[in-house]
Structure 1
Amino acid sequence: MKTALILVAAAALIVGSLAKAEQLGTSRTDLQRHDLGIPGREVVQVRVDLAPGVLAPNHSHPGEEIVYVIEGLLQYQLEGEAPVTLKAGQVLFIPAGKIHSARNVGNVNAAELATYIVEKGKPLSVQSK
């Protein structure tokens, strides 16, 4: 009986987490992760989808991020810089540790291919306060 209750509680937590992610209107699909020839560094590629109006709030990465917009219209705000709006086919370089955000400013889904060149073993993303 205890095992059944634990399984039901675990399932509820998973469903709740998925619902929260859907409410936020974002999804991340990990595509690949490989060690580089530089000791302690790795490359990670992720597809990030944002629903219309959704904001990926201020955060940073322990390495460089190269963004390629796959679809839609995304506005990026890098700390200390003017916002830049990119459409499909455009790119952006975000320096290591630079606090930034992204918002879907269009009325359809927006997606980016994010390529990170980061320090291995560190969290891929750090939320800013």
Structure 2
Amino acid sequence: MKITRIIAAAALIVASALAQQTAQAQFAELERTNLMQHNLSVPRREVIQVRVDFPPGAVAATHIHPGEELVYVIEGVLEYELEGQPQITVKAGEVLFIPYGTPHAVKNVGSGNATELATYIVEKGKPLAVQGK
């Protein structure tokens, strides 16, 4: 019985590590350029602005942010999956608001590159993105 528990615990650790590597690999195809990070007048809040470039077919796996995300698509066509909502297609020149803590994923569904300007209004000192949910 004790050996079974040890094997089960080891399998759980290995599965968790593989899931984390898979999620990191899904973000690895993206090129992120940090543009700005600045404190806000609201205590414990900051704004972070990032340019995210997606090659064709690239996916940002399901994740959440500790605040709101405002998206402006600069180039291409991106498809967003926000928990509890139908898929949303956003094209160059269009915007999207992602509420605080909403699990979401995004994929480049166009034939070429896609680029978004992501502006985050988040809790200071927390990781910008947390995988899964």
Common topology (TM > 0.5): yes
Structure 2 CA distance, aligned partners of 1:94 and 1:42?
16
Q: Which runs of 5+ in 2 are unaligned?
A: 1-23
The answer for the alignment partner of 1:75 in structure 2 is 79
Trace 1:1-129 onto structure 2 (pairs within 5 A). 24-128=28-132
- Give 1:101 deviation, angstroms: 0.4
Detail structure 1 runs of 4+ shifted over 2 Å in the superposition.
Answer: none
TM-score scaled by structure 2? Answer: 0.79
Q: Deviations over 1:26-65 (max 9, x none)?
A: 1100000000000000000000011111110000000000
The letter of the residue matching 1:115 is T
Q: Deviations over 1:9-34 (max 9, x none)?
A: xxxxxxxxxxx97x942110000000
Structure 1 CA distance, aligned partners of 2:93 and 2:111?
18
For the residue of structure 1 that corresponds to 2:93, the secondary structure is coil
Structure 2 CA distance, aligned partners of 1:53 and 1:40?
36
Cα root mean square deviation, aligned: 1.8
Structure 1 CA distance, aligned partners of 2:91 and 2:115?
10
Aligned residue pairs, count: 110
TM-score scaled by structure 1? Answer: 0.81
Structure 2 CA distance, aligned partners of 1:32 and 1:24?
21
Residue identity (%): 61
